[in-house]
Structure 1
Amino acid sequence: MSFEKQDLDLVLVPSGLLVMLVYHLFLLFRCINRPHTTVIGFENNDKKAWVARIMQVDYKDVGTALTVINSNTSAATFLCSVSLTLSSLIGAWLGSSSTSVFQSDLIYGDTRPLTISIKYICLLSCFLLSFFFFVQSARHFVHANYLISTPLTDAPVEYVEVAVIRGSNFWSLGLRALYFALNLLLWFFGPIPMFVSSLVMVTILHYLDSNSRPLHKHQYPSSRNHNSHTNQGLKRVGELISEVGLTAQIRGRRLPDQVGV
């Protein structure tokens, strides 16, 4: 019976990890070659338009942009702290000599101490990888904050776009590492929950990552056109004021003539 449990771990656990890995490689291929079919590419298109518009406003009006960047930075920092805390707890638990609660006979799978240690190490690796990705995400968002808040800057828009897009991409990678950690966490309860969780998660992620809407082509009036429209409007208002003044002057001259008659 023990051999059957070990054989089940050797089949289902690599199969579940392979399903997750193949899906994310397929998602990476779509993000590179067909970004419009993914939610990541759809959101990155909107973020590029947001950066292009933010870089056109006056320096005194960038407060809203800095609030958005700061909220993303705070979220990345929070998840970074959570990942580091969980990594520390797992490391302390792994280093303790207490008997593991996951070696019960109720768990249908390999419950040997060596396998339990491998589970802890895999889970710890996922949390540490998530910590690294969220740190990089916060780093790029902070850099974007510096570029946007620089007064009278002539930095190209592409620099800010790269910082914001990279921060978002590292955020996505950190979440994917947490998804892998969830599957490995269920491995503690046996290979069957882990394999089923991998299939369910891939199905849900495929639904959430797919995009069928066309990319919106954001178009904003340039500052030159805006100024020309403004000047034309002011010119038209000036002409109307001149016509009103001329009409009033003519009527003022006619009024005494009529009184004299």
Structure 2
Amino acid sequence: MGLEREYLDTVLVPLGLFLMIGYHLLLLYRFLRLPETTVIGYENHNKKAWVQRMMQGNPNDPSTALQVISSSISASTYLASLSIALSSLIGTWIGSSPTTPPSKLFMKDIIYGNTSVATASVKYISILFCFMLGFMSFVQSTRYFLHASFLISSPDAGVPTSYVEKAVIRGSNFWSLGLRAHYFAATLLLWIFGPIPMLVGSISMVIVLHFLDTNSTPLLHYCPSAKPPSRHMSRAVSPGLDPMLLPQL
């Protein structure tokens, strides 16, 4: 029976990772080929329309656009800080861990699987890698959102709309990548309690993410907004106004 427990990790853990990686590869294929069927593609479509509308507005008053981007920067910064804090905690745990892993000390009778020191080190390093990947992704997300704020707040600079769109979309994509790294870390955290909870967590995560990542709302084709007429032009077309009096107004 003990020998069977030792081999549970070599079967169930790769199966759980295969489910998670396979799902995200399928999601990546759908995002590249059929973006309208994914929530990420749906959100990117709306963000492109938002950038175009903001760039068509008053270039001397980008306060609304900067407030929206500022909230995204704050969220990315918070999650980056959380990721590096958890990474530091796990790194400290690995560096000061005793010869016997905590799982073997406290839950040796209820954990099925390999509880050796080598396996415990693999668990912690895998979780650490996911949190570090999330940290780097959120930092890059903050970087691109900051770049977009600089571009939007440049009045009369002739910044192409495509430049701002690219910065916002890349910031959003790195945000999504950071969340995916946290999803992987959540399933690997269950591995500390054994390969069976890890496999169950992977299956549950794939089912939940399938419903969260699937989009059934048709993409809305936004109409380009016409620029409001200037004050001079509005007076020129006002009914009952003599054009000969325009230079006197």
Query: Partners of 1:133 and 1:97 in 2: how far apart?
Result: 28
Query: Partners of 1:6 and 1:73 in 2: how far apart?
Result: 45
Could you tell me whether the CA contact under 8 Å between 1:140 and 1:166 is conserved in 2? yes
1:138 partnered with 2:142 = yes
Percent identity of paired positions between Structure 1 and Structure 2: 54
What residue number does 2:245 align with?
Answer: none
Query: Partners of 2:237 and 2:148 in 1: how far apart?
Result: 42
In the TM superposition, 1:116-131 aligns within 5 A as 116-131=120-135
| Amino acid paired to 1:67 | Q
1:217 partnered with 2:221 = yes
**CA deviation after TM superposition for structure 1 residue 216, in Å:** 0.2
**CA deviation after TM superposition for structure 1 residue 212, in Å:** 1.0
**CA deviation after TM superposition for structure 1 residue 51, in Å:** 0.2
What residue number does 2:30 align with?
Answer: 30
Partner SS, residue 238 of structure 1: coil
Query: Partners of 2:237 and 2:59 in 1: how far apart?
Result: 30
Structure 2 portions without partners, runs of 5+: 243-249
**CA deviation after TM superposition for structure 1 residue 222, in Å:** 2.7
1:47 partnered with 2:47 = yes
| Amino acid paired to 1:128 | M
In the TM superposition, 1:29-108 aligns within 5 A as 29-98=29-98, 99-103=100-104, 104-105=107-108, 106-108=110-112
What residue number does 1:185 align with?
Answer: 189
**CA deviation after TM superposition for structure 1 residue 107, in Å:** 1.0
1:159 partnered with 2:163 = yes
Query: Partners of 1:154 and 1:145 in 2: how far apart?
Result: 15
- 10-19 vs 55-64, which moves further: 55-64
Query: Partners of 1:68 and 1:205 in 2: how far apart?
Result: 26
In the TM superposition, 1:180-259 aligns within 5 A as 180-223=184-227, 226-227=228-229, 231=233, 234=235, 237-239=238-240
Could you tell me whether the CA contact under 8 Å between 2:16 and 2:203 is conserved in 1? yes
Judging by fraction of residues, say which structure has more helix.
Answer: 1
Query: Partners of 1:235 and 1:120 in 2: how far apart?
Result: 72
TM-score, with length taken from structure 2: 0.91
Runs of 4+ in structure 1 displaced over 6 angstroms? none
Structure 1 portions without partners, runs of 5+: 243-261
| Amino acid paired to 2:103 | F
**Max Rg structure:** 1
What residue number does 1:115 align with?
Answer: 119
Could you tell me whether the CA contact under 8 Å between 1:2 and 1:110 is conserved in 2? no
| Amino acid paired to 2:229 | N
TM-score, with length taken from structure 1: 0.87
| Amino acid paired to 1:81 | S
Query: Partners of 2:86 and 2:238 in 1: how far apart?
Result: 66
User: Cα distance 1:154–1:176, how it changes in 2: closer, same or farther (>3 A)?
Assistant: same
| Amino acid paired to 1:188 | I
What residue number does 1:258 align with?
Answer: none
